[in-house]
Structure 1
Amino acid sequence: MTSRTSNTPGTAGAFSVGGEYRVNRLGFGAMRLPTGPGAEREAAVTVARRAVELGVTLIDTAHLYGWGANEELLAEALHPYPDELLITTKVGVVRGGPEGWAYDARPESLREQVEEGLRRLRTERVGLLQLHRIDPKVPVAEQVGALRDLQQEGKIGHIGLSEVTAAQLAEARRTAEIASVQNRYNLFDREYEPVLEACEAAGIAFLPWRPVAAATGSDPSSALAAVAAELGATGPQVLLAWLLARSPVVLPIPGTASLVHLEENLAAGDLRLTDSQRRLLDRGADRP
Protein backbone atom coordinates (compact mmCIF):
# COMPACT_ATOMS: atom_id res chain seq x y z
CA MET A 1 0.00 0.00 0.00
CA THR A 2 1.33 3.41 -0.97
CA SER A 3 1.78 5.97 1.82
CA ARG A 4 2.73 9.62 1.81
CA THR A 5 4.17 12.24 4.09
CA SER A 6 4.94 15.06 1.63
CA ASN A 7 2.98 18.32 1.52
CA THR A 8 1.71 18.05 -2.04
CA PRO A 9 -0.83 15.57 -3.42
CA GLY A 10 1.73 13.39 -5.17
CA THR A 11 2.97 14.42 -8.58
CA ALA A 12 -0.45 14.65 -10.19
CA GLY A 13 0.24 18.16 -11.40
CA ALA A 14 -1.86 21.29 -11.26
CA PHE A 15 -4.67 22.94 -13.20
CA SER A 16 -5.71 26.57 -13.45
CA VAL A 17 -9.44 26.90 -12.71
CA GLY A 18 -10.90 29.88 -14.49
CA GLY A 19 -7.39 31.12 -15.20
CA GLU A 20 -7.20 32.33 -11.58
CA TYR A 21 -6.88 29.41 -9.16
CA ARG A 22 -3.97 27.07 -9.83
CA VAL A 23 -4.95 24.00 -7.82
CA ASN A 24 -3.44 20.59 -7.29
CA ARG A 25 -5.36 18.12 -9.44
CA LEU A 26 -6.26 15.80 -6.58
CA GLY A 27 -8.87 17.59 -4.51
CA PHE A 28 -11.14 16.63 -1.64
CA GLY A 29 -14.90 16.10 -1.54
CA ALA A 30 -16.27 17.13 1.86
CA MET A 31 -19.73 15.53 1.51
CA ARG A 32 -18.92 12.55 3.76
CA LEU A 33 -17.68 14.60 6.70
CA PRO A 34 -20.01 14.24 9.73
CA THR A 35 -21.45 17.57 10.83
CA GLY A 36 -23.21 16.66 14.08
CA PRO A 37 -21.83 17.58 17.50
CA GLY A 38 -19.29 15.59 19.46
CA ALA A 39 -16.30 13.41 18.66
CA GLU A 40 -17.31 12.73 15.04
CA ARG A 41 -17.38 16.44 14.29
CA GLU A 42 -13.98 16.92 15.90
CA ALA A 43 -12.64 14.10 13.73
CA ALA A 44 -14.19 15.69 10.63
CA VAL A 45 -12.48 19.01 11.41
CA THR A 46 -9.19 17.12 11.76
CA VAL A 47 -9.65 15.44 8.37
CA ALA A 48 -10.39 18.74 6.62
CA ARG A 49 -7.34 20.38 8.16
CA ARG A 50 -5.17 17.39 7.34
CA ALA A 51 -6.25 17.53 3.70
CA VAL A 52 -4.95 21.07 3.46
CA GLU A 53 -1.75 20.13 5.32
CA LEU A 54 -1.17 17.42 2.72
CA GLY A 55 -1.43 19.92 -0.12
CA VAL A 56 -5.07 19.81 -1.15
CA THR A 57 -5.99 23.17 -2.69
CA LEU A 58 -9.49 22.33 -3.98
CA ILE A 59 -12.30 21.34 -1.60
CA ASP A 60 -15.84 20.66 -2.80
CA THR A 61 -18.99 21.20 -0.74
CA ALA A 62 -22.63 22.16 -1.37
CA HIS A 63 -25.72 23.62 0.24
CA LEU A 64 -27.33 20.17 -0.16
CA TYR A 65 -24.73 18.54 2.11
CA GLY A 66 -26.50 18.86 5.44
CA TRP A 67 -28.39 21.92 4.19
CA GLY A 68 -25.45 24.17 4.86
CA ALA A 69 -23.97 22.24 7.78
CA ASN A 70 -21.09 20.99 5.63
CA GLU A 71 -20.19 24.54 4.62
CA GLU A 72 -20.26 25.62 8.27
CA LEU A 73 -18.00 22.71 9.21
CA LEU A 74 -15.41 23.72 6.61
CA ALA A 75 -15.50 27.30 7.85
CA GLU A 76 -14.96 26.08 11.40
CA ALA A 77 -12.03 23.93 10.30
CA LEU A 78 -10.30 26.18 7.78
CA HIS A 79 -11.28 29.83 8.17
CA PRO A 80 -9.39 32.09 7.65
CA TYR A 81 -8.66 30.28 4.42
CA PRO A 82 -5.14 29.96 3.00
CA ASP A 83 -4.67 32.11 -0.10
CA GLU A 84 -4.06 29.05 -2.28
CA LEU A 85 -7.20 27.19 -1.16
CA LEU A 86 -10.24 27.13 -3.45
CA ILE A 87 -13.48 26.05 -1.80
CA THR A 88 -16.25 25.42 -4.29
CA THR A 89 -19.86 25.13 -3.22
CA LYS A 90 -23.08 24.43 -5.09
CA VAL A 91 -26.58 25.91 -5.17
CA GLY A 92 -29.80 25.22 -7.06
CA VAL A 93 -31.25 22.54 -4.81
CA VAL A 94 -33.47 23.23 -1.79
CA ARG A 95 -35.40 21.25 0.82
CA GLY A 96 -38.70 19.78 -0.34
CA GLY A 97 -40.19 17.23 -2.68
CA PRO A 98 -40.74 13.50 -2.17
CA GLU A 99 -36.98 12.82 -2.02
CA GLY A 100 -36.33 15.55 0.52
CA TRP A 101 -34.91 17.98 -2.04
CA ALA A 102 -36.16 19.86 -5.07
CA TYR A 103 -34.79 21.93 -7.92
CA ASP A 104 -34.92 25.67 -7.41
CA ALA A 105 -32.78 27.78 -9.70
CA ARG A 106 -35.06 30.75 -10.03
CA PRO A 107 -32.86 33.86 -10.10
CA GLU A 108 -34.24 35.25 -6.83
CA SER A 109 -33.75 31.88 -5.12
CA LEU A 110 -30.20 31.49 -6.42
CA ARG A 111 -29.32 34.91 -5.09
CA GLU A 112 -30.66 34.00 -1.66
CA GLN A 113 -28.84 30.66 -1.68
CA VAL A 114 -25.54 32.30 -2.62
CA GLU A 115 -25.91 34.94 0.09
CA GLU A 116 -26.58 32.21 2.67
CA GLY A 117 -23.60 30.20 1.44
CA LEU A 118 -21.31 33.20 1.76
CA ARG A 119 -22.49 33.70 5.32
CA ARG A 120 -21.93 30.06 6.24
CA LEU A 121 -18.51 29.99 4.64
CA ARG A 122 -17.63 33.32 6.30
CA THR A 123 -16.49 34.95 3.09
CA GLU A 124 -17.55 37.80 0.84
CA ARG A 125 -16.67 35.91 -2.35
CA VAL A 126 -16.79 32.24 -3.27
CA GLY A 127 -14.07 31.43 -5.77
CA LEU A 128 -16.06 28.81 -7.68
CA LEU A 129 -19.85 28.55 -7.45
CA GLN A 130 -21.45 25.59 -9.20
CA LEU A 131 -25.08 25.12 -10.19
CA HIS A 132 -25.87 21.78 -8.54
CA ARG A 133 -28.53 20.84 -11.09
CA ILE A 134 -30.15 22.49 -14.08
CA ASP A 135 -33.70 23.36 -13.02
CA PRO A 136 -36.01 22.02 -15.76
CA LYS A 137 -38.61 24.69 -14.90
CA VAL A 138 -36.30 27.66 -15.51
CA PRO A 139 -34.59 28.60 -18.80
CA VAL A 140 -30.87 27.83 -18.67
CA ALA A 141 -30.05 31.40 -19.67
CA GLU A 142 -31.95 32.73 -16.63
CA GLN A 143 -30.22 30.37 -14.21
CA VAL A 144 -26.73 31.03 -15.52
CA GLY A 145 -27.53 34.68 -16.03
CA ALA A 146 -28.37 35.04 -12.34
CA LEU A 147 -24.98 33.60 -11.41
CA ARG A 148 -23.31 35.89 -13.95
CA ASP A 149 -24.96 38.88 -12.28
CA LEU A 150 -23.64 37.77 -8.88
CA GLN A 151 -20.24 37.29 -10.46
CA GLN A 152 -20.29 40.85 -11.76
CA GLU A 153 -21.16 42.02 -8.25
CA GLY A 154 -18.04 40.31 -6.95
CA LYS A 155 -19.80 37.61 -4.92
CA ILE A 156 -18.78 34.79 -7.26
CA GLY A 157 -15.35 34.36 -8.78
CA HIS A 158 -16.14 31.69 -11.38
CA ILE A 159 -19.21 29.74 -12.45
CA GLY A 160 -19.48 25.97 -12.70
CA LEU A 161 -22.15 23.40 -13.53
CA SER A 162 -22.99 19.93 -12.24
CA GLU A 163 -24.65 16.91 -13.88
CA VAL A 164 -25.07 18.48 -17.29
CA THR A 165 -25.07 17.18 -20.83
CA ALA A 166 -22.78 18.49 -23.53
CA ALA A 167 -25.73 20.37 -25.02
CA GLN A 168 -26.55 22.03 -21.69
CA LEU A 169 -22.92 23.01 -21.24
CA ALA A 170 -22.89 24.60 -24.68
CA GLU A 171 -26.13 26.44 -23.93
CA ALA A 172 -24.82 27.74 -20.61
CA ARG A 173 -21.61 28.98 -22.24
CA ARG A 174 -23.69 31.26 -24.46
CA THR A 175 -24.66 33.21 -21.32
CA ALA A 176 -21.49 33.14 -19.21
CA GLU A 177 -18.01 31.72 -19.09
CA ILE A 178 -18.04 28.30 -17.46
CA ALA A 179 -14.98 27.33 -15.43
CA SER A 180 -15.92 23.82 -14.28
CA VAL A 181 -18.24 20.88 -14.70
CA GLN A 182 -18.88 18.33 -11.94
CA ASN A 183 -20.40 15.14 -13.34
CA ARG A 184 -20.51 11.49 -12.29
CA TYR A 185 -17.60 9.73 -13.98
CA ASN A 186 -15.18 6.88 -13.34
CA LEU A 187 -13.53 3.96 -15.13
CA PHE A 188 -16.75 1.93 -15.02
CA ASP A 189 -19.21 4.77 -15.61
CA ARG A 190 -18.40 6.92 -18.63
CA GLU A 191 -21.85 8.09 -19.63
CA TYR A 192 -20.60 11.68 -19.67
CA GLU A 193 -17.61 11.06 -21.93
CA PRO A 194 -18.90 13.68 -24.43
CA VAL A 195 -19.02 16.26 -21.62
CA LEU A 196 -15.45 15.50 -20.60
CA GLU A 197 -14.36 15.84 -24.22
CA ALA A 198 -16.12 19.20 -24.48
CA CYS A 199 -14.42 20.37 -21.28
CA GLU A 200 -11.03 19.26 -22.55
CA ALA A 201 -11.52 21.11 -25.82
CA ALA A 202 -12.47 24.32 -23.96
CA GLY A 203 -9.98 24.06 -21.09
CA ILE A 204 -12.79 23.67 -18.53
CA ALA A 205 -12.06 21.82 -15.28
CA PHE A 206 -13.89 18.48 -15.05
CA LEU A 207 -14.54 17.31 -11.46
CA PRO A 208 -15.70 13.68 -11.47
CA TRP A 209 -17.80 12.72 -8.49
CA ARG A 210 -18.01 9.10 -7.28
CA PRO A 211 -14.51 8.61 -8.72
CA VAL A 212 -13.69 5.47 -6.72
CA ALA A 213 -17.05 3.97 -5.73
CA ALA A 214 -16.69 1.22 -8.32
CA ALA A 215 -13.69 -0.22 -6.47
CA THR A 216 -15.87 -1.39 -3.58
CA GLY A 217 -16.21 -5.16 -3.65
CA SER A 218 -14.28 -5.52 -6.91
CA ASP A 219 -13.53 -9.04 -8.14
CA PRO A 220 -10.05 -10.15 -6.94
CA SER A 221 -9.46 -11.61 -10.42
CA SER A 222 -10.40 -8.40 -12.22
CA ALA A 223 -8.15 -6.14 -14.26
CA LEU A 224 -8.42 -3.54 -11.51
CA ALA A 225 -7.15 -6.00 -8.91
CA ALA A 226 -4.34 -7.15 -11.22
CA VAL A 227 -3.09 -3.62 -11.86
CA ALA A 228 -3.37 -2.74 -8.16
CA ALA A 229 -1.25 -5.80 -7.30
CA GLU A 230 1.38 -4.84 -9.89
CA LEU A 231 1.64 -1.34 -8.43
CA GLY A 232 1.37 -2.33 -4.77
CA ALA A 233 -1.62 -0.03 -4.54
CA THR A 234 -5.31 -0.20 -3.63
CA GLY A 235 -8.17 -0.36 -6.11
CA PRO A 236 -9.32 3.19 -5.33
CA GLN A 237 -5.78 4.48 -5.87
CA VAL A 238 -5.66 2.84 -9.30
CA LEU A 239 -9.04 4.35 -10.23
CA LEU A 240 -7.79 7.81 -9.23
CA ALA A 241 -4.56 7.30 -11.18
CA TRP A 242 -6.64 6.29 -14.21
CA LEU A 243 -8.70 9.47 -13.93
CA LEU A 244 -5.60 11.65 -13.65
CA ALA A 245 -4.17 9.99 -16.74
CA ARG A 246 -7.44 10.27 -18.65
CA SER A 247 -7.19 14.03 -19.28
CA PRO A 248 -5.25 17.00 -17.91
CA VAL A 249 -8.54 18.79 -17.16
CA VAL A 250 -9.73 16.05 -14.78
CA LEU A 251 -9.64 17.03 -11.10
CA PRO A 252 -10.89 14.09 -8.98
CA ILE A 253 -12.45 14.99 -5.63
CA PRO A 254 -12.52 11.74 -3.61
CA GLY A 255 -14.22 12.13 -0.25
CA THR A 256 -13.74 10.38 3.05
CA ALA A 257 -14.10 10.90 6.79
CA SER A 258 -11.03 8.74 7.47
CA LEU A 259 -7.50 10.07 7.85
CA VAL A 260 -6.12 6.77 6.58
CA HIS A 261 -8.25 6.83 3.44
CA LEU A 262 -7.47 10.50 2.90
CA GLU A 263 -3.74 9.77 2.78
CA GLU A 264 -4.30 6.72 0.59
CA ASN A 265 -6.37 8.74 -1.88
CA LEU A 266 -3.83 11.53 -2.13
CA ALA A 267 -1.00 9.04 -2.60
CA ALA A 268 -2.63 8.08 -5.91
CA GLY A 269 -1.00 11.19 -7.35
CA ASP A 270 2.32 9.33 -7.17
CA LEU A 271 1.11 6.38 -9.26
CA ARG A 272 1.98 6.12 -12.93
CA LEU A 273 0.05 3.69 -15.09
CA THR A 274 1.84 2.16 -18.05
CA ASP A 275 0.14 2.10 -21.43
CA SER A 276 -0.41 -1.64 -21.09
CA GLN A 277 -2.00 -1.17 -17.65
CA ARG A 278 -4.34 1.49 -18.99
CA ARG A 279 -5.34 -0.76 -21.89
CA LEU A 280 -5.97 -3.64 -19.47
CA LEU A 281 -8.18 -1.44 -17.30
CA ASP A 282 -10.10 -0.13 -20.28
CA ARG A 283 -10.68 -3.62 -21.64
CA GLY A 284 -11.79 -4.87 -18.25
CA ALA A 285 -14.22 -1.97 -17.83
CA ASP A 286 -15.70 -2.52 -21.30
CA ARG A 287 -16.62 -6.15 -20.66
CA PRO A 288 -20.34 -6.76 -20.04
Structure 2
Amino acid sequence: MPTPTFRVGGEHEVRRLGFGAMHLPTGPADRDESRAVARRAVELGVELIDTAYMYGGGANEELLAEALHPYPANLLVTTKVGVEGSGPPADWRLDGRPHVLRAQVDNALRRLRVERLELLQLHRVDPEVPLDDQVGALALLREDGKIGHIGLSEVSVSELSRARAITPIASVQNRYHLFDREHEPVLAACEAADIAFLPWRPIAHGKAGADPDVTAVAAELGATPTQVCLAWLLARSPVVLPIPGTARRAHLEENVAAARFGLTTAQFDRLDRLGRPTV
Protein backbone atom coordinates (compact mmCIF):
# COMPACT_ATOMS: atom_id res chain seq x y z
CA MET A 1 0.00 0.00 0.00
CA PRO A 2 1.20 3.56 -0.68
CA THR A 3 2.48 5.67 2.19
CA PRO A 4 -0.72 7.14 3.70
CA THR A 5 0.65 10.52 4.82
CA PHE A 6 3.04 13.24 3.70
CA ARG A 7 4.73 15.97 5.71
CA VAL A 8 4.10 19.23 3.80
CA GLY A 9 7.01 21.60 4.18
CA GLY A 10 8.56 19.05 6.49
CA GLU A 11 6.09 20.20 9.14
CA HIS A 12 2.42 19.47 8.47
CA GLU A 13 1.77 15.73 8.29
CA VAL A 14 -1.49 15.13 6.43
CA ARG A 15 -3.28 12.22 4.85
CA ARG A 16 -2.39 12.28 1.20
CA LEU A 17 -5.92 12.24 -0.20
CA GLY A 18 -7.24 15.78 0.22
CA PHE A 19 -10.27 17.77 -0.90
CA GLY A 20 -10.58 20.56 -3.46
CA ALA A 21 -13.25 23.04 -2.41
CA MET A 22 -13.51 24.80 -5.78
CA HIS A 23 -16.79 23.15 -6.77
CA LEU A 24 -18.68 24.04 -3.59
CA PRO A 25 -21.49 26.47 -4.49
CA THR A 26 -21.59 29.55 -2.27
CA GLY A 27 -25.02 30.95 -3.15
CA PRO A 28 -27.79 31.16 -0.53
CA ALA A 29 -29.71 28.17 -1.92
CA ASP A 30 -26.70 25.84 -1.78
CA ARG A 31 -24.74 27.17 1.17
CA ASP A 32 -26.03 24.76 3.81
CA GLU A 33 -25.22 21.74 1.67
CA SER A 34 -21.79 23.10 0.78
CA ARG A 35 -20.97 23.58 4.45
CA ALA A 36 -22.18 20.03 5.11
CA VAL A 37 -19.87 18.67 2.40
CA ALA A 38 -16.86 20.49 3.88
CA ARG A 39 -17.68 19.18 7.36
CA ARG A 40 -18.17 15.68 6.04
CA ALA A 41 -14.73 15.79 4.42
CA VAL A 42 -13.17 16.44 7.82
CA GLU A 43 -15.33 13.73 9.43
CA LEU A 44 -14.00 11.27 6.84
CA GLY A 45 -10.43 12.08 7.82
CA VAL A 46 -9.44 14.60 5.16
CA GLU A 47 -6.58 16.73 6.48
CA LEU A 48 -5.81 18.91 3.43
CA ILE A 49 -8.37 21.26 1.88
CA ASP A 50 -7.56 23.48 -1.10
CA THR A 51 -9.26 26.77 -1.90
CA ALA A 52 -8.36 30.06 -3.63
CA TYR A 53 -9.33 33.70 -3.85
CA MET A 54 -10.38 33.07 -7.45
CA TYR A 55 -13.09 30.66 -6.30
CA GLY A 56 -15.88 33.17 -6.01
CA GLY A 57 -13.69 36.17 -5.23
CA GLY A 58 -13.08 34.89 -1.71
CA ALA A 59 -16.56 33.44 -1.20
CA ASN A 60 -15.15 29.90 -1.12
CA GLU A 61 -12.71 30.86 1.63
CA GLU A 62 -15.52 32.44 3.64
CA LEU A 63 -17.64 29.30 3.21
CA LEU A 64 -14.87 27.07 4.57
CA ALA A 65 -14.43 29.36 7.56
CA GLU A 66 -18.16 29.24 8.27
CA ALA A 67 -18.13 25.45 8.05
CA LEU A 68 -14.91 24.57 9.80
CA HIS A 69 -13.59 27.41 11.99
CA PRO A 70 -12.11 26.90 14.51
CA TYR A 71 -10.14 24.45 12.42
CA PRO A 72 -9.05 21.08 13.78
CA ALA A 73 -5.37 21.07 14.72
CA ASN A 74 -4.57 18.45 12.07
CA LEU A 75 -6.32 20.29 9.20
CA LEU A 76 -4.22 22.15 6.63
CA VAL A 77 -6.24 24.68 4.63
CA THR A 78 -4.33 26.08 1.68
CA THR A 79 -5.39 29.01 -0.46
CA LYS A 80 -4.03 30.77 -3.54
CA VAL A 81 -3.42 34.37 -4.64
CA GLY A 82 -2.17 36.06 -7.79
CA VAL A 83 -5.27 36.57 -9.93
CA GLU A 84 -7.75 39.44 -10.00
CA GLY A 85 -11.26 39.78 -11.36
CA SER A 86 -14.89 38.90 -10.73
CA GLY A 87 -17.52 36.59 -12.13
CA PRO A 88 -16.67 33.60 -14.35
CA PRO A 89 -13.05 32.43 -14.78
CA ALA A 90 -12.79 34.08 -18.21
CA ASP A 91 -13.14 37.49 -16.55
CA TRP A 92 -10.09 36.99 -14.30
CA ARG A 93 -6.53 38.02 -15.11
CA LEU A 94 -3.14 37.25 -13.66
CA ASP A 95 -1.80 39.87 -11.29
CA GLY A 96 1.41 39.09 -9.45
CA ARG A 97 2.39 42.62 -8.49
CA PRO A 98 3.78 42.57 -4.96
CA HIS A 99 1.28 45.07 -3.55
CA VAL A 100 -1.60 43.02 -4.98
CA LEU A 101 -0.23 39.80 -3.48
CA ARG A 102 0.18 41.47 -0.09
CA ALA A 103 -3.40 42.78 -0.15
CA GLN A 104 -4.78 39.39 -1.20
CA VAL A 105 -2.91 37.63 1.58
CA ASP A 106 -4.30 40.08 4.15
CA ASN A 107 -7.82 39.52 2.82
CA ALA A 108 -7.38 35.75 2.86
CA LEU A 109 -6.29 35.90 6.50
CA ARG A 110 -9.45 37.83 7.32
CA ARG A 111 -11.80 35.56 5.35
CA LEU A 112 -10.30 32.34 6.69
CA ARG A 113 -10.18 33.83 10.22
CA VAL A 114 -6.55 32.94 10.85
CA GLU A 115 -3.42 34.85 11.78
CA ARG A 116 -1.18 32.81 9.48
CA LEU A 117 -1.78 30.95 6.22
CA GLU A 118 0.05 27.70 6.83
CA LEU A 119 0.34 27.04 3.08
CA LEU A 120 -0.12 29.87 0.56
CA GLN A 121 0.26 29.14 -3.15
CA LEU A 122 0.84 31.49 -6.06
CA HIS A 123 -2.11 30.64 -8.32
CA ARG A 124 -0.20 31.37 -11.54
CA VAL A 125 3.06 33.05 -12.44
CA ASP A 126 2.26 36.46 -13.93
CA PRO A 127 4.43 36.81 -17.07
CA GLU A 128 4.22 40.61 -16.79
CA VAL A 129 5.93 40.65 -13.38
CA PRO A 130 9.43 39.27 -12.70
CA LEU A 131 9.21 35.92 -10.95
CA ASP A 132 11.71 37.14 -8.37
CA ASP A 133 9.33 39.96 -7.42
CA GLN A 134 6.34 37.65 -7.05
CA VAL A 135 8.08 34.95 -5.03
CA GLY A 136 10.10 37.56 -3.17
CA ALA A 137 6.91 39.29 -2.01
CA LEU A 138 5.61 36.00 -0.62
CA ALA A 139 8.96 35.34 1.05
CA LEU A 140 8.73 38.70 2.83
CA LEU A 141 5.21 37.86 3.98
CA ARG A 142 6.59 34.61 5.32
CA GLU A 143 9.23 36.55 7.25
CA ASP A 144 6.41 38.73 8.63
CA GLY A 145 4.67 35.62 9.96
CA LYS A 146 1.64 35.85 7.67
CA ILE A 147 2.61 32.74 5.69
CA GLY A 148 3.95 29.45 7.00
CA HIS A 149 4.93 27.77 3.74
CA ILE A 150 4.92 28.88 0.10
CA GLY A 151 3.66 26.90 -2.88
CA LEU A 152 3.34 27.43 -6.63
CA SER A 153 0.77 26.43 -9.21
CA GLU A 154 1.11 25.61 -12.92
CA VAL A 155 4.87 26.06 -13.03
CA SER A 156 7.64 24.55 -15.11
CA VAL A 157 10.76 22.86 -13.80
CA SER A 158 12.72 26.03 -14.57
CA GLU A 159 10.27 28.26 -12.70
CA LEU A 160 10.31 25.92 -9.73
CA SER A 161 14.10 25.97 -9.69
CA ARG A 162 14.22 29.77 -9.88
CA ALA A 163 11.67 30.10 -7.09
CA ARG A 164 13.59 27.69 -4.87
CA ALA A 165 16.67 29.87 -5.29
CA ILE A 166 14.71 32.66 -3.56
CA THR A 167 12.86 30.80 -0.82
CA PRO A 168 11.91 27.24 0.19
CA ILE A 169 8.95 25.88 -1.79
CA ALA A 170 6.68 23.41 -0.01
CA SER A 171 4.19 22.51 -2.75
CA VAL A 172 3.40 22.59 -6.45
CA GLN A 173 -0.15 22.40 -7.79
CA ASN A 174 -0.17 21.46 -11.49
CA ARG A 175 -2.74 19.77 -13.72
CA TYR A 176 -2.04 16.03 -13.77
CA HIS A 177 -3.98 12.79 -14.00
CA LEU A 178 -3.80 9.29 -15.43
CA PHE A 179 -4.34 10.50 -19.00
CA ASP A 180 -2.49 13.83 -18.75
CA ARG A 181 1.24 13.60 -17.99
CA GLU A 182 2.41 16.95 -19.37
CA HIS A 183 3.92 17.88 -16.02
CA GLU A 184 5.75 14.60 -15.43
CA PRO A 185 9.12 16.45 -15.27
CA VAL A 186 7.74 18.78 -12.59
CA LEU A 187 6.54 15.82 -10.56
CA ALA A 188 10.01 14.29 -10.84
CA ALA A 189 11.58 17.54 -9.60
CA CYS A 190 9.15 17.64 -6.67
CA GLU A 191 9.88 14.04 -5.78
CA ALA A 192 13.64 14.70 -5.81
CA ALA A 193 13.22 17.69 -3.47
CA ASP A 194 10.47 16.18 -1.26
CA ILE A 195 8.00 18.87 -2.37
CA ALA A 196 4.28 18.09 -2.19
CA PHE A 197 2.71 17.73 -5.65
CA LEU A 198 -1.02 18.54 -5.62
CA PRO A 199 -2.55 17.49 -8.94
CA TRP A 200 -5.58 19.55 -9.80
CA ARG A 201 -8.21 17.94 -12.02
CA PRO A 202 -6.94 14.56 -10.77
CA ILE A 203 -9.72 12.57 -12.42
CA ALA A 204 -10.34 12.38 -16.18
CA HIS A 205 -14.12 12.72 -15.94
CA GLY A 206 -15.85 10.98 -18.83
CA LYS A 207 -12.67 9.35 -20.07
CA ALA A 208 -11.82 7.10 -17.14
CA GLY A 209 -15.17 5.31 -17.15
CA ALA A 210 -14.92 4.64 -20.87
CA ASP A 211 -11.40 3.20 -20.83
CA PRO A 212 -11.37 -0.63 -20.86
CA ASP A 213 -8.17 -0.89 -18.82
CA VAL A 214 -9.54 1.38 -16.08
CA THR A 215 -12.87 -0.45 -15.96
CA ALA A 216 -11.11 -3.82 -15.89
CA VAL A 217 -8.96 -2.83 -12.92
CA ALA A 218 -12.04 -1.35 -11.25
CA ALA A 219 -13.85 -4.68 -11.64
CA GLU A 220 -10.87 -6.56 -10.18
CA LEU A 221 -10.79 -4.29 -7.13
CA GLY A 222 -14.51 -3.85 -6.66
CA ALA A 223 -13.94 -0.12 -7.12
CA THR A 224 -15.25 2.63 -9.38
CA PRO A 225 -13.21 4.10 -12.26
CA THR A 226 -12.87 7.31 -10.26
CA GLN A 227 -11.40 5.39 -7.33
CA VAL A 228 -8.99 3.61 -9.67
CA CYS A 229 -7.70 6.94 -11.00
CA LEU A 230 -7.14 8.23 -7.48
CA ALA A 231 -5.52 4.96 -6.37
CA TRP A 232 -3.11 5.24 -9.31
CA LEU A 233 -2.16 8.78 -8.27
CA LEU A 234 -1.50 7.66 -4.70
CA ALA A 235 0.67 4.83 -6.01
CA ARG A 236 2.44 7.03 -8.57
CA SER A 237 4.67 8.86 -6.07
CA PRO A 238 4.75 9.40 -2.30
CA VAL A 239 4.77 13.19 -2.86
CA VAL A 240 1.46 13.19 -4.79
CA LEU A 241 -1.46 14.59 -2.77
CA PRO A 242 -4.62 14.45 -4.93
CA ILE A 243 -7.30 17.04 -4.17
CA PRO A 244 -10.46 15.82 -5.95
CA GLY A 245 -13.38 18.20 -5.64
CA THR A 246 -17.12 17.69 -5.54
CA ALA A 247 -20.27 19.35 -4.26
CA ARG A 248 -21.99 16.08 -3.31
CA ARG A 249 -21.48 14.10 -0.13
CA ALA A 250 -21.91 10.74 -1.87
CA HIS A 251 -19.23 11.58 -4.41
CA LEU A 252 -16.97 12.86 -1.63
CA GLU A 253 -17.31 9.56 0.22
CA GLU A 254 -16.50 7.66 -2.98
CA ASN A 255 -13.35 9.76 -3.47
CA VAL A 256 -12.10 9.39 0.09
CA ALA A 257 -12.67 5.63 0.00
CA ALA A 258 -10.17 5.39 -2.88
CA ALA A 259 -7.37 5.45 -0.32
CA ARG A 260 -8.39 1.93 0.73
CA PHE A 261 -7.56 0.39 -2.64
CA GLY A 262 -4.03 -0.79 -3.23
CA LEU A 263 -2.94 -1.61 -6.77
CA THR A 264 -0.85 -4.66 -7.56
CA THR A 265 2.29 -4.08 -9.61
CA ALA A 266 0.55 -5.52 -12.65
CA GLN A 267 -2.47 -3.27 -12.20
CA PHE A 268 -0.33 -0.18 -11.71
CA ASP A 269 1.74 -0.95 -14.81
CA ARG A 270 -1.39 -1.57 -16.88
CA LEU A 271 -2.76 1.83 -15.89
CA ASP A 272 0.56 3.63 -16.07
CA ARG A 273 0.92 2.79 -19.76
CA LEU A 274 -2.28 4.67 -20.60
CA GLY A 275 -0.85 8.14 -20.22
CA ARG A 276 2.63 7.48 -21.53
CA PRO A 277 3.47 9.15 -24.87
CA THR A 278 3.77 6.72 -27.76
CA VAL A 279 7.08 6.65 -29.62
- Which of 12, 20, 23 aligns to 1:32? It is 23
Using the alignment, how far apart are the partners of 2:211 and 2:80 within structure 1? 39
Q: Which secondary structure does the structure 2 equivalent of 1:262 belong to?
A: helix
Do the aligned partners of residues 142 and 269 (structure 1) sit closer, same or farther apart at CA in structure 2, a change above 3 Å counting? same
Cα offset, 1:154, TM superposition: 0.5
Q: Which secondary structure does the structure 2 equivalent of 1:99 belong to?
A: helix
Using the alignment, how far apart are the partners of 2:163 and 2:265 within structure 1? 36
- Which of 141, 148, 151 aligns to 1:157? It is 148
Using the alignment, how far apart are the partners of 1:124 and 1:59 within structure 2? 18
Residue pairs, 1:3-82, within 5 angstroms: 13-38=4-29, 40-82=30-72
Cα offset, 1:163, TM superposition: 0.2
CA RMSD of aligned residues (A): 1.7
Cα offset, 1:280, TM superposition: 1.3
Aligned length: 277
> TM-score of the superposition, structure 2-length normalised?
0.96
The equivalent residue for 1:270 is 260
Using the alignment, how far apart are the partners of 1:270 and 1:68 within structure 2? 33
The equivalent residue for 2:240 is 250
Using the alignment, how far apart are the partners of 1:17 and 1:65 within structure 2? 23
Using the alignment, how far apart are the partners of 1:15 and 1:219 within structure 2? 29
> TM-score of the superposition, structure 1-length normalised?
0.93
- Whether the 8 Å contact between 2:181 and 2:275 is mirrored in structure 1 is no
Using the alignment, how far apart are the partners of 2:190 and 2:2 within structure 1? 22
- Whether the 8 Å contact between 1:12 and 1:26 is mirrored in structure 2 is no
The equivalent residue for 1:123 is 114
Between the aligned residues of both structures, percent identity stands at 64
Cα offset, 1:284, TM superposition: 3.3
Q: Which secondary structure does the structure 2 equivalent of 1:84 belong to?
A: coil
Deviations 1:117-153 (A, max 9, x none): 1111111111000000001011111100000000011
Using the alignment, how far apart are the partners of 1:239 and 1:230 within structure 2? 14
**2:123 equivalent to 1:146:** no
Deviations 1:207-257 (A, max 9, x none): 000001x14254646101111111111111000000000000000000011
Cα offset, 1:287, TM superposition: 7.5
In the alignment, structure 2 segments of 5+ residues that lack a partner are none
The equivalent residue for 1:87 is 77
Cα offset, 1:281, TM superposition: 1.1
Using the alignment, how far apart are the partners of 1:145 and 1:282 within structure 2? 38
Using the alignment, how far apart are the partners of 2:171 and 2:43 within structure 1? 24
Using the alignment, how far apart are the partners of 1:241 and 1:12 within structure 2? 12
Cα offset, 1:278, TM superposition: 1.2
Using the alignment, how far apart are the partners of 1:163 and 1:106 within structure 2? 18
Using the alignment, how far apart are the partners of 2:43 and 2:67 within structure 1? 12
Do the aligned partners of residues 219 and 90 (structure 1) sit closer, same or farther apart at CA in structure 2, a change above 3 Å counting? closer
